[in-house]
Structure 1
Amino acid sequence: MKLNLFKRSTPTESTAEAIDRAAAHASAIWMHEATKIVIKLGQGSTSFTTDQVHAELSKMDVATPEPRALGAVIRQAIRDGFIVLTGEYRKSARRVCHKRPMAVYRPAVQV
């Protein structure tokens, strides 16, 4: 990757590029399982954060060197119409997140 110090990108472009890089370095099996979990949550009736996705993934025998790739899974699930952002935030329960605010998602089609 060639770095151009003079190219200015918008924050949205930078975020999208970072998400794409994380996904490129993630385990394909992990990405597949994460996608299945997000779709399942998107077919439910309650809202959720990525904390729930990470909790489900931790029960499985899958791992990835790049857990930030979950952003790519979430972004694709939104594009595909499985989930939507609610505009709400909850403090993360995961220690590695230090109680930072996490976006809340809900199924795109309410049951």
Structure 2
Amino acid sequence: IFSKYRWNKYFKAYKRSSDIVEFMLSKDDILRHSYELVQGLRKDLRLCNWPKFINRLNSVSTKSVSKGVWKVVKYYRKHQRMLRNTIYYPAFNNGAIEGINNKIKLIK
């Protein structure tokens, strides 16, 4: 999806999505740091890498990321135990219950 060129009316040229993201990130250091932090945390969660996740989370400073991302960082720091359990026990989730609830909503 990121390698396909598409016409972009704002740039008035054919651009890939990755080119647009890189352009936006090059304009603001805080945006770049926020983006890289979020992508890193998502990767660590997906790969169930708790030590890397917690190191990345604890190394963030207030001034280096946007206000919105900082709120998420504070929330994650506050709820580290739940996040650790999510990483260490990935098979335990409420996906099956949510699926049943969605089917019930469809029936209604």
Give the structure-2-normalised TM-score: 0.27
- More strand, by proportion: 1
Which structure: larger Rg?
Answer: 2
The two structures have a TM-score, normalised by structure 1, of 0.26
